[in-house]
Amino acid sequence: MTSFRLALIQLAVTASKSDNLARATKFVREAATNGAKIVALPECFNSPYGTKYFPTYAEKIPGQSTEALSSAAKDNNIFLIGGSIPEEDEGTLYNTCMVFGPDGHMLAKHRKVHLFDIDIPGKIRFQESETLSPGNSFSCFDTADCKVGVGICYDIRFAELGQVYADKGCKLIVYPGAFNMTTGPAHWELLQRARALDNQLYVATVSPARDDSAGYVAWGHSTVVSPWGDVLATTDHQEAIVYADIDMKRVEEVREQIPVRRQKRKDLYEVVSKG
């Protein structure tokens, strides 16, 4: 089989972790019932997004969220990309995405590699490094259809990470993310289309739904982009499930038609993976 259905759950995240887990579980079931084989949740799906919240909501892996995600993957016989949660490990906090296979086993644990430290005067200042530490590894997993790479939000700004995943054989990269009302309209779709075109693969981003009363207001617009750079499926900012049928043949077609991956001048430049 070369095609499968991908579902992105643009969850309305609240301050109640148990409510977030219950609602995520319900939407995962709905997506699987509608034929999705890979389902993804947003960044910080079980906690509000903000440095002051991370220590309070952080949990160990395995823990409450691990168990809920593992059961949701197994009960619905799907691959589940579990957005991200604030993780605590030996006193250090990370922004971490867990991926589970259809048997409920954890296949990957991606700790956000690039921390979101920005300062746009008069608009937004956010310093994840006030409470979080970065991860130090790449995270891919295999399905029957393709290898999938995982990044979290700010990771999408780093073209090299996308290229490393493409070089490792990934044909889909999924970025749970939560861009905001300044960078979202300016860069969210542009970056996604850029990473898809750079590497001639599918790219998906999964945001929380927008909550205008939150300290950090997410842009929403969870989206799937094709290897040609087309937006295949998207939504606005409300809670929603975005579905896209992913055809692996399209990756090969585009790579054959415009063979930039074979035409790189490795005698002049190269991206080297150290992980």
Ligand X SMILES: NC(=O)CC(=O)C(=O)O
Judged by CB, which is closer to ligand X: 5, or 114? Answer: 114
Judged by CB, which is closer to ligand X: 178, or 244? Answer: 178
The answer to whether 179 contacts ligand X (rule: CB under 6 A) is yes
Retrieve residue 150's tokens. Answer: 């995982």
Indicate which residue of 44, 140, 153, 170 is catalytic.
153
Helices 159-167 and 183-199 pack at an angle, to 10 degrees, of 30
Task: Tell me, residue by residue from 74 to 93, as one string, x for binding to ligand X by CB under 6 A and - for no binding.
Answer: --------------------
Output the smallest distance, CB 117 to ligand X, in A: 9
- Is 43 an annotated catalytic residue? yes
Q: Which stretch binds ligand X (CB under 6 A): 14-22, 69-77, 178-186, 220-228?
A: 178-186
Output the smallest distance, CB 116 to ligand X, in A: 3
Cα torsion for 161, 166, 169, 173, to the nearest 10°? Answer: 70
The answer to whether 157 contacts ligand X (rule: CB under 6 A) is yes
Q: Amino acid letter at 40?
A: A
- Is 37 an annotated catalytic residue? no
- Is 146 an annotated catalytic residue? no
For residue 217, give every residue at least 6 positions away whose Cβ sits within 8 Å of its Cβ, in sequence order, or none. Answer: 180, 181, 210, 211
Judged by CB, which is closer to ligand X: 106, or 181? Answer: 181
Output the smallest distance, CB 154 to ligand X, in A: 3
DSSP string, 186-241: HHHHHHHHHHHHHHTSEEEEE-PPP-TTSSS-B----EEE-TTS-EEEE--SSSEE
- Omega within 30 of 0 (cis) for the link into 121: no
Output the smallest distance, CB 207 to ligand X, in A: 10
**Number of neighbouring beta carbons within 10 Å of residue 136:** 9
The answer to whether 175 contacts ligand X (rule: CB under 6 A) is no
Q: Which of 68, 161, 178, 246 binds ligand X (CB under 6 A)?
A: 178
Q: Amino acid letter at 45?
A: F
Closest CA to 227 of 274, 170, 272: 170
Q: How many residues bind ligand X (CB under 6 A)?
A: 9
Output the smallest distance, CB 165 to ligand X, in A: 18
Indicate which residue of 17, 37, 109, 112 is catalytic.
112
The greatest distance separating any two alpha carbons of the chain, rounded to the nearest whole angstrom, comes to: 54
> How many whole angstroms separate alpha carbon 33 and alpha carbon 26?
11
In degrees rounded to 5, what are phi and psi of residue 5? -100, 130
The answer to whether 153 contacts ligand X (rule: CB under 6 A) is yes
Output the smallest distance, CB 179 to ligand X, in A: 4
Site for ligand X in 183-222 (CB under 6 A): 183, 187
Please give the positions annotated as active site.
Answer: 43, 112, 153
* Chain residues that interact with ligand X, rule: CB under 6 A: 116, 153-154, 157, 178-180, 183, 187
